[in-house]
Amino acid sequence: QLFTWDSALPRMRKSSENADLAGAVAHQTRSFVLSLLDEDIDWPAFTLWLSALLHRHGDRILRVKGMVTVRSTGKPLVIQGVQHVMYPPIHLEEGDAPDQERGLVFITDGIEQDDIERSLHAFLKAVDRMEDGPAGPSGQPVMAAAPGG
């Protein structure tokens, strides 16, 4: 199986589990930047990943905000949201943000940067592999046979 939701969305400790750790505080608010400077994002795949992340962990994603370059247009897009709510993206022209770094700022409660970063990259790689599909001897994609056919 190329992709499962469990492999793409990190298993993150709940704040109550953090409280059980010696000397830990129940809520661990942190902020970090997920750099996407050299990456053009597959927008439909990215929105699917972000929706799944917010559905599963939105109560602990206090804020997400940033700018990504969309692969299909090559243009920047600004996104922002609070917990489970995402605001409509703002489409920019390349000249409107030429020297702005691409990336996402997260403010979280008990979720580590590495977990979110691994999740995003695993999801996007799985989507890329599915889009490439298996190649035949001629290098052309092979269509899977219908079951029983």
Query: How many CB atoms are located within 10 Å of the residue 49 CB?
Result: 23
Q: Are 11 and 118 in contact (CB under 8 A)?
A: no
Each of the 149 residues of the chain gets a pLDDT tens digit; together they read: 334 445 445 555 444 444 454 444 456 889 999 888 777 888 999 999 999 999 999 999 999 999 998 989 888 999 999 999 999 999 998 777 766 778 999 999 999 999 999 998 888 888 888 876 655 455 555 444 444 44
Query: How many CB atoms are located within 10 Å of the residue 75 CB?
Result: 15
| Best CA proximity match to 54, nearest among 11, 95, 13, 85 | 85
Q: Are 70 and 94 in contact (CB under 8 A)?
A: no
Residue 55: left if φ>0, alpha if ψ -120 to 50, beta else—which one? alpha
